[in-house]
Structure 1
């Protein structure tokens, strides 16, 4: 943030001030809505917007990031609240902050990019379904609906209570929805969720007062000040119990914040610091629970709005938090009168926007392994939980990746082409091969996923018992210890049959592996060559020349000379014997 002030001016401050106020106005209803959807009081969402929003801007790694509660956390936080309670949610949030801070300090920010896109789209779309379905009861004003952890139970609960539908709640929700759709067409610079919220709230208050559930009637009055600083009661049992939920919050927060930062980079042409961003997220999530706030991360939509509103530095994020604080102090009683039916369309629209419909369809239509990963993650997010979904998506991605990499390994028997002497598989044909030298090209990573294929193919060659086996390794970029073990086994078996193993064109990584495992000493440095031609020349000196007698294979250009030489030697020997 200090670097941002190196050339900061009054004009920059005016732009940040305007952008911060605009984003703050948008963030206020969203903060309350996400808190309600997460199963906690709306003021906790406001506290999170203020404290986490300011801290993420100060300590984060992006100049434009707007932090706060987001829809991605809704199913996770709701599950924690229902299972462990609100106080334990604060502990889990603090622990997640510690984990995020450690991720940043350990420079793990770059690892997030290795999470497959289908996994991200799958759980994002699943979260969108959960958020949307979770607002059906508020939209229709259903009474007596109990929240459950699983999707099917919640849907069953809604179906059972459909007869309690409230026409006033539906009217309120539709008014909000109408203004959210119409406002951007006529007043594109005015936040449509705020207009929808105000219009529907006023309509409910004046035309049918007391007929719809409000924040005050459901959760009580919103306090007009921040809560007191309070440290949650940590115990070893609670920390152990909440380690899994905290890890889920941390990973999800890391993914969401870095995705938001990448979006900001694309819109501004800048470059964020991913490790500092994670550290900033960690600090914010450690401090926010001490004031009663819930988990926070980078908000993509609010960050994009911040940029479009003219923000030039992290000051806009600080202003956004202060603007929400000012509204809390001055207008808390009015916020308490907001109908829950007015909040429902806002969250439904958030869910619709985060559903990644086009990307979901595009991946699905490819009908590849990515489609399977996408569907698996999506279904498990909706019908199980986010933790299981992400774990299953990552494991499935890993299995399919290993399978693809294993299948990509090519092992071809080759020989020099008689015309241009270049080594090619096509050079091997009937009547043109060497019974004493087997030459193979190995192409692709030699790791645990491909080791079995490698062993089977080479052992098949050893079955023919050539004198010399040459492995061309110039196209093997990587070898793990499993591949090294298989190579060692091949060396052992081949030597037991009296054969000689030669390697050519070793790349640095595989060469370093066999050096560290001492396999280089077993093979012998004199049996490793930079070029295939050198290996062939050496192999020809190890032939049983008697077997070359009368050989018509002509596998190598030296074969003709060896064959003639053998015939002369044989005739001389016969003359001496006579």
Structure 2
């Protein structure tokens, strides 16, 4: 292992920014044109009913869902980090945005659209900043119990929120509002709305089983059946989507005059965007055996969400259903995502007036199926067998997702998992203390140390990162050391030391000095040595006592015992680091 292996590479700004260059996506778009176009059209057909439903669920109207799908498709196709990912409005983000919109309505009771769009724009800006900070890799450190609890919680939220519109009533502003409202709605349900919603839901559920070849996606077929049923039976007492404006969207320029009110929500939306998008990218990676670029994906989502904030779209993220459909239809580059966005744009510009024929109950049936699909059915059968801390983490995230806030739930879940892993690392940290005469391997041939002195030479071997989680374990071991003259601290297998670890070493050194003992470090890695030097730990040991190998420390002890340092060439001896 070379001495420079652990040195930090020099920063290269050009290489750093090149990671976010859209040319990475553009240069491969010619490689799969026919299949990408076909996949893009198919995914657009799947995405349209979902976009309409999510737009209505957000409280901003069906057109807001469509413009989000258009922005997500085109902009993330250009700037994103997954060749097969397709973006648009998703359940978690729409649920969060709907809660924020409900809490910030104008005095008239109407949504504060300018505030909402400014917050969406700001969330995109936050995503870009986080992408430039290269935080994408941390998605791989998210425990599965957190992901599972989060997805199950989102599924429950969507189902609870869609029960009232299925029964013919308005969508409640919150989960607690839905729980309070559902008993009344069941007692006073509107039969026509329930018929439409159940017919839509049943069609989506059964359509894949009735047809071998999916020439029409199940959500679109459900939309057709539910809408046709409402008009054929002339149901007049049910709500329909408000008419959508034709043509280019109304533009909303960000207004940050209430920055303090929107920053929390913007961070929540940005966090969900990153979490939702990168989890979907992992699914795509498993299906295609490719590897997405997490930071570029976050950057692309930031661009898309800024676009949503300007054109009046709900927030966007990489969507699992659309991404999986894209892969199955043969999409392999960002061109498929762009085609999907362009097809939706054409539909929005030409067919927007016809959206007013779609019943709200029909969209509720579509979203009910979405909520059911989001739940993690892999973990449900083994809930009672999960390890205790995983179970605590799962239920905490699930309950907090439903009752408090999505971002709070994620934060608490990750914190629980973090505390657990730190505790386990501390308990499992490898260390041992032996005296010189307990070492089974022979000492170097040219070393002569009296037997009575060997009892006074102790070796403390540390393995693994020396951080706050293991400090207590090591301190309890080292505090029991008494009656020694030399202490050799083996550091060859310590890749990093934080401040807690550094000051733990300082305490060990101070205690050794109080007993009149001499301390040696062996095998310090360059980065570890730099950190200890900056914190003035090395100067307490002295540079002369920072040696490369255990044998070198033994030779140094012999020299100190003899009262002189003989001039001789360094001799390579067998390293006793494993003893």
Into which bin does the TM-score normalised by the smaller protein fall? 0.7 to 0.9
| TM-score (structure 1 length as normaliser) | 0.84
Output one character per residue of 1:166-221: Cα deviation in whole Å (capped at 9) or x when no partner: 22222212221222123212142420111111112111111142132222xxxx32
Q: Which residue of 1 aligns with 2:295?
A: 275
What aligned pairs does 1:184-333 form with structure 2 within 5 A after superposition?
Answer: 184-185=208-209, 186=211, 187-215=213-241, 220-235=242-257, 238-333=258-353
Runs of 5+ consecutive residues of structure 2 not aligned to the other structure: 1-21, 106-111, 444-450, 564-579
Measured after TM superposition, the shift of residue 543 of structure 1 is: 6.5
- Note closer, same or farther for the CA distance 1:19–1:442 as it changes in structure 2 (3 Å cut): closer
Q: d(CA) in 1 for partners of 2:76 and 2:201?
A: 31
Q: What's the secondary structure of 2:468's corresponding residue?
A: coil
**1:33-62 per-position Cα deviation (integer Å, ceiling 9, x unaligned):** 112222221111112122332222122222
- The TM-score with structure 2 as length reference comes to 0.84
2:180 — aligned with what? Answer: 156
Matched, 1:168 2:186: no
- Structure 1 equivalent of residue 136 of structure 2: 109
Q: Are residues 437 and 230 of structure 1, via their aligned partners in 2, closer, same or farther at CA, if it must alter by over 3 Å?
A: closer
Q: Does residue 439 in structure 1 map to residue 459 in structure 2?
A: yes
Aligned to 2:284, what secondary structure does the other structure show?
helix
For 1:549, the equivalent position in structure 2 comes to none
8 Å Cα contact 1:122/1:360 also seen in 2: no
> CA 1:202–1:510 in structure 2 vs 1: closer, same or farther (change >3 Å)?
same
Q: After the TM superposition, which segments of 4 or more aligned residues of structure 1 sit over 6 Å from their partners?
A: none
Confirm or deny that 1:474 pairs with 2:492. Answer: yes
2:162 pairs, out of 124, 129, 135, with: 135
1:181 and 2:205 aligned? yes
CA deviations on 1:363-415 (whole Å, 9 max, x unpaired) are 76331433322221111111111121122122222222221222222332224
DSSP 3-state at the match of 2:378: helix
**Residue 554 (structure 1) aligns with:** none
- Is 1:101–1:283's contact at 8 Å kept on the other side of the alignment? yes
Segments of 5+ residues of structure 1 without an aligned counterpart are 424-430, 546-578
Gap change, CA 1:79 and 1:415, over 3 Å in 2: same
Alignment RMSD (CA, Å): 2.8
Q: Is the CA contact (8 Å cut-off) linking 1:437 and 1:467 kept in structure 2?
A: yes
Maintained 8 Å contact 2:155/2:374: yes
Q: State the alpha-carbon separation in 1 of the partners of residues 311 and 460 from structure 2.
A: 67
Using the TM superposition, give the Cα deviation of residue 76 of structure 1 relative to its aligned residue in structure 2, in angstroms: 0.7
**What's the offset of the Cα at 1:286?**
0.9
Contact 1:406 1:450 in 2 (8 A): yes
In structure 1, the residue matched to 2:14 is none
Residue of structure 1 equivalent to 2:172: 147
Tell me the distance in 1 between the aligned counterparts of 2:28 and 2:153: 44
State which of 53, 57, 66 in structure 2 corresponds to 1:33: 53
1:91 partnered with 2:118: yes
Q: What CA deviation, in whole Å up to 9, does each residue of 1:415-447 have, x standing for no partner?
A: 467795279xxxxxxx99965233332333322
Please state if 1:535 is matched with 2:553: yes
- The size of the alignment, in residue pairs, is 526
Query: CA offsets, 1:138-157, max 9 Å, x none?
Result: 2222x4x67243x3342122
d(CA) in 2 for partners of 1:232, 1:505: 56
2:414 counterpart residue number = 394
Change (3 A) 1:433 1:179: farther
Q: 2:65 aligned with 1:59, yes or no?
A: no
Distance (whole Å) between structure 2 residues aligned to residue 512 and residue 364 of structure 1: 48
Asked if 1:500 corresponds to 2:518, the answer is yes
Specify whether residues 140 and 228 from structure 1 end up closer, same or farther in structure 2 by C-alpha distance, changes over 3 A only: closer
CA 1:120 to 1:234, structure 2 compared with 1: closer, same or farther past 3 Å?
same
Instruction: Tell me: CA distance 1:12–1:377, structure 2 relative to 1, closer, same or farther (3 Å).
Output: same
The 5-angstrom pairing of residues 3-14 of structure 1 reads: 6=27, 12-14=32-34
1:373-392 → structure 2 map (5 Å cutoff): 373-392=393-412
**Alpha-carbon separation, structure 2, partners of 1:364 and 1:510:** 44
1: CA distance between counterparts of 2:328 and 2:370? 18
Rounded Cα–Cα distance in structure 2 between residues aligned with 1:333 and 1:308: 32
For the Cα contact (< 8 Å) 2:65–2:89, is it kept in 1? yes
Alpha-carbon distance between aligned partners in 1 of 2:394 and 2:452, rounded to the nearest angstrom = 50
Task: Tell me: CA distance 1:484–1:513, structure 2 relative to 1, closer, same or farther (3 Å).
Answer: same
Report the Cα distance in structure 1 between the residues aligned to 2:79 and 2:463, rounded to whole angstroms.
47
Tell me how far apart the structure 2 counterparts of residues 80 and 385 of structure 1 sit (CA, whole Å).
10
C-alpha distance in 2 between matches for 1:525 and 1:3: 49
1:229-256 Cα offsets, whole Å, 9 max, x none, are 2314331xx1121111101111111122
Secondary structure of 1:414's counterpart equals strand
Corresponding position of 1:513: 531
The more displaced of 295-304 and 400-409 is 400-409
Give the equivalent residue in structure 1 for 2:509.
Answer: 491
Contact 2:29 2:335 in 1 (8 A): no
Residues 405 and 445 in structure 1, CA contact (< 8 A), matched pair in contact too:
no
1:354 is matched with: 374
Contact kept? 2:436, 2:455, Cα under 8 Å? no
CA contact (8 A) 1:184 1:190 kept: no
Distance change >3 Å, CA 146–CA 181, structure 1 → 2: closer
Residues 467-489 of structure 1 show CA distances to partners (whole Å, capped at 9, x for unaligned) of 22232333333221222112222
1:525 aligns to what? Answer: 543
Check conservation: 2:240, 2:360, Cα contact below 8 A.
yes
